Amino acid sequence: PFGGRMPTQGRVESWKDVGIRPPKGVVRKEVRKGLEQQSRVALLYTGTIPWSIANSLQVDALGRALDIRIREVVREEAGGSYDAGASAQLDRFPTEEYTVSISFGCSPQNVQPMTDLALKEVARLRAQGPEAVDVAKVKEMLSREHEQNLRENEYWLGSLQMLAMNGLDPAVMNDFDKRLAAVTAQNLKAKAVELLEECKADGMVAAIGRGRFGDVRRQETGGKGLAGVVEKAPDYFNPFLELMEA
């Protein structure tokens, strides 16, 4: 890899924490936009656990194992979505925080059934852990990506930045195989129990309507309906809609 040095102005700079944090408890937001009869569902789990390179790999592996099941169940078995998927990541700055996300597109009438399927997979992952065959697939993906990354300058640049930001010994880069060996069904099940909140089998929408989560209580039909929809002006323009619908 090529290493270079650029001139600096001698300034000492640092990042700033602006205090943005995920909301507490369970929050349901419904946004009505566009003319097509199509919906987009995103389920996010957030929380705090200690950051480490080993923990980061475990969280990544958990997200990949969940992704396999979400794609198989929501997309292939139920046929409810063509772009279902899941992922997970662990960040250290500004705070040690993880995010597990599940997302899929579907027709409006399939929002609740597909959401229930996704939540049941989350519950199954917590209760039983991932299948051995899925763990093997995840480890194979991680191994191949690592082999490819070792040949990429961008990977080394990012790794050097990560080491410097976290004050880590560069020798930890030699421990990838050891960290990968720790990716087991048992460890991923423990991580799932740690990260994923347990949701009832009757679905998140119904659970929120019954007020099961903190002080959040809202019925599925409790919105404003058409009263909450504003007609667009003739000259309305949103450049992001074209990008999203492309």
pLDDT greater than 60 at residue 79: yes
C-alpha torsion angle, residues 110, 111, 112, 113 (rounded to 10): 40
pLDDT of amino acid 201: 39
167 burial type by CB count under 10 A (0-12 exposed, 13-18 middle, 19+ buried): exposed
The pairing of strands 97-106 and 85-91 is: antiparallel
Structure confidence by residue, pLDDT tens digits, 119-170: 999 999 999 999 999 999 999 999 999 999 999 999 999 999 999 999 999 9
Q: How many helices (H) and strands (E) does the chain have?
A: 8, 3
Contacts of 172 (CB under 8 A, 6+ apart): 53, 163
Please write the tens of the pLDDT for every residue from 219-245: 555 555 555 555 666 666 665 455 545
- pLDDT on residue 221: 55
pTM: 0.74
Which residue in the block uniquely carries the two structure tokens 């929120």? 208
Residue range 12-38: mean pLDDT, rounded: 84
The whole-angstrom separation of Cα 156 and Cα 118 is 36
